[in-house]
Structure 1
Amino acid sequence: MLTPRFELDQNDEFVYIKIHIPNIRFSAAAIEMVINDNVFVFSLPPYYLRLRFPKSLIENEDATSEFDSKEGCIKIRIPKLNRCEYFPDLDLGAKLLARLNEPLNNSSDQRIKEKPTSLIQELEVSNELVNNFENVQPGSSQYSQLAQEALDYDWEIPQKMPPQLTDLQAAVKYGFDNQYSEYLTPSVANGNDINELSDPDHLQPDDRIMERLIKENIKFDMEYYANDYITAKYLSEESDGIKGALQYICPYAKLFQESESKSNVKVEFSQKEQDLMNDLPRKSYLIDDPRPLYYTVLCMLFAYSYEARSFQGETTIESAWTIGKLTPQISCLDSQLIQSNNETEKNMIRIILLTMFRRALDYPLYRHYDMIKKTWMDVYWILRCGKRAVLKVLLAARELFRKHVIYYVYCKILLDDLCSWVLRDDGCNDIVLRNLAHASRKELEKVTKSDIVFEKIIKDEAAANTDEAGEIEEEEEEQFSFLNLIDVEELSDEAYLASQS
């Protein structure tokens, strides 16, 4: 059976469903429609649609349906059981598609659905308290355990002993919640130049991190950074690109600031975005520790926002490559971000900020410190707009990969599931996103240019040796050195001022 494309709308009395069935001849007698409390079922072979609404409907003489031959769709009107009752998230049609074994009873007090024939139990959590979080005081009787856990979310690195592996080949997993393996080797063979790992399907997590750090150090180009720094600071006529990027205003910043309700920012989805949501995987996720998923969301938001700021809201043919290179969970399959035995840093948010600072100074077209800080503020505004804004950005990023003949593999191992998890009521949490926004902004204020360090090999040509014939020959000496952005900028200023004088 095929799931048809559909659109939803509402007013105070009715819910309107528009089901598109183009290029099919049918008899009205073949159509079956059933309304059972909050469940609507439509059947017209080969099409089948089942929607589970957040509120109850009623089937009476006011319910109507008609076929519009010009639009190639069936328009259905269903009365609401309670007049003037608002049905939330009707523009997120994928949330209404009933899933296999999903219980019909949505009452908030039924926390655990018992399934005697299954060894797995799914927990159902009501989002009503989450949506009204701003009006609920911590510690009150209405404050749910989920909301309290989200409010007190701990971003410190968990102290865990590395697992004892017996079969190294079988133990290597990556992608969404480390659920995938053996996807990258064929992609790399076909020319996947986003990948930075020597053997992506067999490297352990700590080895991925080591390769990533080495590549970041090698890739950093002092002259490239110095050129962008001098261009933006001194050469006003030649810095239109960087100046435009620095002056760009994130639409989500404006949206949040103009919103009447800061806890419920109105984010609308286009019909194309709704169709993309309908194509997402429809499955439940049993996540032991969701923090790595939030880290991935944070990195993806930064990567997409940096590319959008670089081209003032537009994307290019190279956007998928740039976003993939910036995101360590994609280019290096690194969802861990710090090695198991590393005890120097304790806060994961700071580690993410420093990692993305380094990568943004390695790969994009523009590599400018102030532009990176502005992009992190763009991420802050997206997070403050809530999970609908996060989903909108992730869908836009996913579409860039989905259309690519090689990079689509990252949709299969990460982006499809990530978007689906953000969409689900029992997945991504608005309160955690708000907590993450404040935590990242707080850490951003602590980051300085001296914190952005690259390990480089500096060649010294001043050394000289005497050969067997007694002649002096020049020889390069290699010295291992640590460079931060302050060092590079001071050298750049000196060189530029000397050239002008």
Structure 2
Amino acid sequence: MLTPRFTVDQDDEFVYITIKLSTIRFSAHNVEMVVNDKLFIFALPPYYLRLRFPGSLEEDERATSKFVSKEECIKVRVAKKTKGENFPDLDLTAKLLARLNEPTNQSISESHNYKSTTLIEEIESNENGANHVINNHMSDIAREAENFNWEVEQKSAEEMDVNMGTEHPKYGFNNQYSDMLEATVSNGNDINELAEPDGLKSDDRVVQRLIKENLKFDPEYYANEYLTAKYTPEESRIREILKWESPYKSIFLKLQREPKQKRDLDHVTSVAITFSQKEQDLMRDLPKKSYLIDDPRPIYYTIICLLYAYCYEIRSNEGDSTVESGWTIGKLTPQISCLDSQLIQSNNMTEKNMLRILVITMDRRALSYPLIRSYEVAKKCWEDVYFILRCGKRSVLKASLAAREYFRFHDIYYIYCKILLDDLCNWILRDDGCNERVLRNLAHALRKEAETIVKKDLMFEKIMTEESEDMEFINIDDVEDLAEHAYKDSK
């Protein structure tokens, strides 16, 4: 059976379903439609469509259906059981295709009494069947939404070895994958930064990432960019890059100007963020899986890193992209280039705030890998990430889908869709996945933390002179001071 393309709209009284039918001869006798509470079923061989709505429907004399031959579609109208009820996210058609027994979290606003339940995780499924793995508990993300704790979770090296395995270390989304990178490395995977990606444990990935960042940072490159932007701005694109405005900022500021009674505080952009037909198709092609997440914090870290990398690349090209966009986004995202979802060694007791670690990590990478390496641009991109988060779950999904597109059809980079990006986008889409309130709280906390990071906090370990092989710590402030002295001496 084929799932047809469809769109859904609504008003106060009805739900309107438009079902596209192509390459078949329409026969009214073969059409079957069923309305049962929240369930709507349409069948016309070889097409089959089953939708579950967030609210109840009612099958009565007001229900209508009409075949429009010129548009090759059937237009169906079904009445809402409760007149005036608003059905959220009807444009996210992939959510309407969910099956009955998929787990969902209780709304945060409904209750603060949380209970653990035995749930089933769908590993992969289709209309013909599903494979399942049974697990005793699923963490309730809503429980942590009110006061989400972003402090570092301390674990011993022995504990990490037990959790991650010693022979086949896990990586990717929710640490579900292993032994999938080696083939791409042998075929020229230039995003990968690890010597043996399939054999390294989590702590070793962190160490290799830090070493590679120190090696890749080029003080002369950064100093040249800094001096050019400051003293000969006509020869630099930095000024134009900083002036460029993110579309998510425009959307959010427009929403803020509306009267308070028109705003939806939990779904900030339920109207403003829309999805194209292509994006709808991309969502429908995401894996049909549910997830048992013990600790969602690393997934939120991944979302932040991916959004930052995407924002840096898009801002650097003033809203456009290049053939190197996939490489840049992959290099900047540590969960992709270094398979590092941990970001800090398990026995590191010197830093407790994960958001600070996250900001410093992304700033260091932004000053080491892209074509444009500017501290001002790196800081500006945190503002872009803030507005995506403040625009809510829909904007996070839209930006994540856009970032995923740079990997999806690449001969080598596609592997990062398989181990991370497909699942990440699907988790964001799901009702029991990415949480609106967590995103909003995270946006404020992340912006506050990014504002506290200064140039002296961005440290690199380098060999600074040809006469010495000793490693020295140098920060961005030091590099700029040296550049200023060299510039004045040259004049």
TM-score normalised according to structure 1 size: 0.87
Question: Kindly tell me: are residues 111 and 36 of structure 1, through their superposed partners in 2, closer, same or farther at Cα, counting changes over 3 Å?
Answer: farther
Cα separation, 2, equivalents of 1:299 and 1:182: 23
Q: Does 1:45 align with 2:41?
A: no
CA contact (8 A) 2:139 2:295 kept: no
Q: Does 1:449 align with 2:455?
A: yes
Q: Which residue of 2 aligns with 1:220?
A: 217
The within-5 A match list for 1:424-439 is 424-439=430-445
Question: Kindly tell me: are residues 5 and 166 of structure 1, through their superposed partners in 2, closer, same or farther at Cα, counting changes over 3 Å?
Answer: closer
Aligned counterpart for 1:411 among listed residues 409, 412, 417? 417
Gaps of at least 5 residues in structure 1 are 126-145, 462-476
How far did 1:169 drift? Answer: 5.5
Aligned counterpart for 1:362 among listed residues 365, 368, 384? 368
How far did 1:405 drift? Answer: 2.0
Q: Does 1:202 align with 2:199?
A: yes
How far did 1:24 drift? Answer: 2.0
The within-5 A match list for 1:173-184 is 173-184=170-181
CA contact (8 A) 2:37 2:56 kept: yes
CA RMSD of aligned residues (A): 2.6
Q: Which residue of 2 aligns with 1:248?
A: 244
How far did 1:150 drift? Answer: 1.1
Deviations 1:237-291 (A, max 9, x none): 112x211111111221221122132723222222221221111122211100000
CA contact (8 A) 1:23 1:72 kept: no
Q: Which residue of 2 aligns with 1:479?
A: 470
Question: Kindly tell me: are residues 63 and 185 of structure 1, through their superposed partners in 2, closer, same or farther at Cα, counting changes over 3 Å?
Answer: same
Q: Which residue of 2 aligns with 1:229?
A: 226
The within-5 A match list for 1:31-110 is 31-99=31-99, 101-102=101-102
Secondary structure, aligned partner of 2:16: strand
Secondary structure, aligned partner of 1:459: coil
Q: Does 1:489 align with 2:484?
A: no
Aligned counterpart for 2:268 among listed residues 265, 268, 284? 265
Cα separation, 2, equivalents of 1:47 and 1:404: 31
Cα separation, 2, equivalents of 1:370 and 1:231: 13
Secondary structure, aligned partner of 1:7: strand
Cα separation, 2, equivalents of 1:122 and 1:68: 49
The within-5 A match list for 1:13-412 is 13-99=13-99, 101-102=101-102, 119-120=134-135, 147=142, 149-162=144-157, 163=159, 164-165=161-162, 170-239=167-236, 241-259=237-255, 260=258, 261=263, 263=265, 264-266=267-269, 267-412=273-418
Q: Does 1:420 align with 2:426?
A: yes
Secondary structure, aligned partner of 2:331: helix
How far did 1:313 drift? Answer: 1.3
The count of aligned residue pairs is 464
Question: Kindly tell me: are residues 122 and 160 of structure 1, through their superposed partners in 2, closer, same or farther at Cα, counting changes over 3 Å?
Answer: closer
How far did 1:55 drift? Answer: 0.8
Deviations 1:366-411 (A, max 9, x none): 1000111110011111111111111111011111111222111111
Question: Kindly tell me: are residues 372 and 63 of structure 1, through their superposed partners in 2, closer, same or farther at Cα, counting changes over 3 Å?
Answer: same
Q: Which residue of 2 aligns with 1:466?
A: none
Cα separation, 1, equivalents of 2:117 and 2:459: 51
Secondary structure, aligned partner of 1:199: coil
Counterpart residue identity of residue 46, structure 1: P
Counterpart residue identity of residue 20, structure 1: K
Deviates more, 1:160-169 or 1:298-307: 160-169
How far did 1:103 drift? Answer: 8.1
Counterpart residue identity of residue 343, structure 2: L
CA contact (8 A) 1:232 1:243 kept: yes
Percent identical: 61
CA contact (8 A) 1:253 1:382 kept: yes
Question: Kindly tell me: are residues 103 and 347 of structure 1, through their superposed partners in 2, closer, same or farther at Cα, counting changes over 3 Å?
Answer: closer
Deviations 1:407-465 (A, max 9, x none): 1111111111111111111111111111111111121122110110110113334xxxx
CA contact (8 A) 1:172 1:201 kept: yes
CA contact (8 A) 1:14 1:77 kept: yes
CA contact (8 A) 1:196 1:212 kept: yes
Gaps of at least 5 residues in structure 2 are 121-131
